[in-house]
Structure 1
Amino acid sequence: MAIRVEHELHGRRRGRNTGVGLVLVGLVAIVFGLTVVKVLNLGDIQEFERFDHVARPALEAAATEAEANGGASE
């Protein structure tokens, strides 16, 4: 009695599970690919530091020039 016939329901479930698995792998691949592209296109680390939507005077060119000129303002 070791021979068992698989029910059709199991075959359908296996097909759905395979489809869901492939969709999840595809989404992970897209996110990974976008991350790799973003990191590789990042030329200067300051570009990455500026992308936090917060004004930071230490990163502004005018602030660094003013400091280099002895702190003289306009």
Structure 2
Amino acid sequence: MSELPSDGRVIGMPTHRTAGPRRTPVRPTGRAVTLGLALAVLAGLGWVTGMIYTLITWQL
């Protein structure tokens, strides 16, 4: 019950190769999250700067 052909050739087996690395990120939402966090940091820095400016220029 051999599965070899009668002429002695070996039956070709499929190759299971992994896909190469993608050039684009797998999850494009990562860029959006990073951009959102960067904008949040800038907004926070602006808020802190505004508070410091308000305290410095406050008329007592």
TM-score with structure 2 setting the length: 0.52
1:36 aligns with 2:57: no
Q: CA deviation at 1:14?
A: 1.6
Q: Could you list the runs of 5+ residues in structure 2 that have no partner in the other structure? A: 1-20
TM-score with structure 1 setting the length: 0.44
Q: CA RMSD in A?
A: 1.9
Matched positions, count: 39
Q: Could you list the runs of 5+ residues in structure 1 that have no partner in the other structure? A: 45-74
Q: Give the match for residue 19 of structure 1.
A: 35
Question: Which has the greater radius of gyration?
Answer: 2
Runs in 1 of length 4+ with deviation above 6 angstroms?
A: none
Percent of matched pairs sharing the same residue: 5
